[in-house]
Amino acid sequence: MNSRLQEVNSNTTMAELSHKAPASPYALFELFDATSTLIRVKQVMAITGIGRATVYKLMNQPDSGFPQAVKLTNSTARGAPVAWVLSEVQAWARSRIEARDQVAA
């Protein structure tokens, strides 16, 4: 188990967490369970290297394999807040790398 993860528990405050956190805000992801960590579109863009419009375009193309967003509220309005599961975004990025490697082989 990650030693940093052992130091973090449900009683850990954000102030305590910020002192334990690495310099990069994205490195904070290693402190949490990727299967239950929700990330917003800016983090999805940073992880995948694709733009906002492309994120939503891929999300609406079932054959793209891009992860579906999780609704954060019950709102049905356009622009309602959504997030993605970190592990699913990471798996999609890995699948793109694997696809590249298969073509190169």
Domain of 57: which CATH number?
1.10.1660
Question: Total structural domains in the chain?
Answer: 1
> Is residue 7 within 8 Å of 20, Cβ to Cβ?
yes
The band of 97, judged by pLDDT with boundaries at 50, 70 and 90, is very high
**Quick check: is 34 in a domain?**
yes
Regarding predicted confidence, which is higher, 68 or 101? 68
- Structural domain contains residue 17: no
> Is residue 84 in a domain?
yes
Q: In this structure, is residue 9 part of a structural domain?
A: no
Percent of the chain with pLDDT over 70: 71
- The two tokens of residue 57 are 């375009």
For the record, the structure tokens of 95 come out as 């699948």
Whether residue 58 is contained in a domain is answered as yes
The predicted-structure confidence for 8-42, as pLDDT tens digits, reads as follows 555 555 556 555 555 665 666 677 889 999 999 99
Domain membership flag for residue 3: no
Domain that holds residue 86: 24-104
pLDDT bucket at 49, cuts 50 / 70 / 90: very high
SS3 24: coil
Distance, CA of 96 to CA of 102 (rounded, Å): 10
13 part of a folded domain: no
Q: 50: exposed, middle or buried (C-beta count within 10 Å: 0-12, 13-18, 19+)? A: middle
DSSP-assigned letter for residue 92: H
Is residue 6 situated within a structural domain? no
